[in-house]
Amino acid sequence: MSLPPLLPVPDIHQRLQLIFPEGSPNRANCTWEIAAKTVFVMLYVGAVEGADIWIRPDQVTRMTDDQASKADEAARHAWTKESLKSSKGEIPGRWYAVNTRESIRDDTIRAGFLANGVVVERGGLPTTSPSPRYALKGDFAALFNPALKGTKLDSTIATWQGDNLNAGALARITMVRKGAVAGGDHIMVKYPSGETRRMAPGPSSVISKAVIEIFAPRFLEQPAVIFLSESRNKVVSRDDDLAKAIGLQIRAEKNLPDIVLADLGPKHPLLVFIEVVATDGPVTRERKQALTELAQNAGFPAEHVVFATAFLDRSDSAFKKAVDSLAWGAFVWFASEPEHLIHLHEGEASSVRTLTQWRS
């Protein structure tokens, strides 16, 4: 069987960014340079599904630039045999140190490629076996054909994504893209009541739109929007009549978050304060205390007040920057994964004795 054509490592690296765009699950593990070099070595030896050829992670560490430039099949077959032999000698110019093989196995292959279904693992091998066990899926390997260029490459990648990424992953990618390229004259937000409001374009508005149109009806029985602001315009919309009806005194300059929702379904309405974070401004302990006072002044006891911070995506730098300052007892929601909700449980560890209690 002929070996697959080779694409230079920089080109593989570039294609990985297109195949796994922002918002893709475990994207970092699939798109860093080690991932590109791992794909290159798999292609170099012909470790592609159906060929019954496999690699070990340490083969990636043994590759060198000089060897990678030898693209004829004889040189590739010879290196494949040599790279599987036990050797304690130094390899001049090797890509990675010997102990990097664990990172390649755990971080790139298992957490990245296997998790996304683009690598297959050889069956029947004991866990401790030193035999090679990993190969690229056939349709994934085909994406690195040097003959694919321009619009043909783009359409082939798009087709692969549609066939191989699940609906949740595709939705997450789409949402992150919207946040990254939000533009135009305005973003139209549709309230639960059917009314609409215009917001200035930008990632914060994309998240706010998702909060009102997706989060609110998903997690509230009878949602209503009391207050909505944006970075360029402190007040986009406010419903003073509704606020007064539930005892809330709205003063935009007094610590109000980006969005205030009310759930009018329960016997005692639920007040929901939401911070929208594209760069800064999560619900911190201090913000939670200030908003708690505002709610208490309106006659809302703590058990009828909810705090949440909305981000675009888990992989976004804004979340990574803010995670250590998020207030206990608050919720975290990601527009790219709208069906999930994180609760930062507050209380004594002894109050919950088992994981079963957490699940119930």
Does 9-165 match 184-359 in CATH topology? Answer: no
**Band of residue 293 on the pLDDT scale cut at 50, 70, 90:** confident
In degrees and rounded to multiples of 5, residue 73 shows phi and psi of -65, -35
Q: Is the pLDDT of residue 203 over 70?
A: yes
Tens of pLDDT, residue by residue over 308-334, are 999 988 888 888 888 888 999 899 999
Q: Is the pLDDT of residue 360 over 60?
A: no
Alpha carbons 355 and 128: distance in angstroms, whole number: 31
Write down the domain spans for the chain: 9-165, 184-359
Q: What's the confidence (pLDDT) of residue 178? A: 63
Alpha carbons 143 and 13: distance in angstroms, whole number: 12
> How distant, in Å, are the alpha carbons of 202, 214, 279 from that of 184?
9, 22, 20
Choose from 244-248, 289-293, 336-340 the range with maximum mean pLDDT. 336-340
Q: Give the contacts of 138 (CB within 8 A, at least 6 positions apart).
A: 48, 49, 50
Q: Take residue 287 and report the two structure tokens written for it.
A: 């913000």
**Band of residue 251 on the pLDDT scale cut at 50, 70, 90:** low
Q: Is the pLDDT of residue 66 over 90?
A: yes
Q: Which CATH architecture has domain 9-165?
A: Orthogonal Bundle (1.10)
Q: Which residue has the higher pLDDT, 298 or 14?
A: 14
Q: Is the pTM of this model over 0.75?
A: no
Is residue 216 within 8 A of residue 192, CB to CB? The reply is: yes
Across 62-66, 133-137, 202-206, least confident range? 202-206
Mean pLDDT rounded to a whole number for the chain: 85
Q: What's the confidence (pLDDT) of residue 222? A: 92
The CATH T-level fold of domain 184-359 is Trna Endonuclease; Chain: A, domain 1 (3.40.1350)
Alpha carbons 111 and 216: distance in angstroms, whole number: 33
Q: What is the mean pLDDT of residues 89-114?
A: 91
Tens of pLDDT, residue by residue over 215-240, are 999 999 999 998 888 765 566 666 77
Kindly tell me the burial class for residue 51, based on how many C-beta atoms sit within 10 Å of its own C-beta (0-12, 13-18, 19 or more).
middle
Q: What's the confidence (pLDDT) of residue 349? A: 54
Q: Which residues pair with 55 in a beta bridge?
A: 134
Q: What is the mean pLDDT of residues 156-174?
A: 78
Q: Is the pLDDT of residue 358 over 80?
A: no
Is the four-CA dihedral 136, 138, 139, 141 of positive or negative sign?
A: positive
Q: Which is nearest to 15 in space by CA: 146, 128, 119, 189?
A: 146
In degrees and rounded to multiples of 5, residue 197 shows phi and psi of -135, 150
Q: What is the mean pLDDT of residues 149-176?
A: 81
The DSSP call for residue 312 is: S
Q: Which residue has the higher pLDDT, 215 or 295?
A: 215
Q: What is the mean pLDDT of residues 54-83?
A: 95
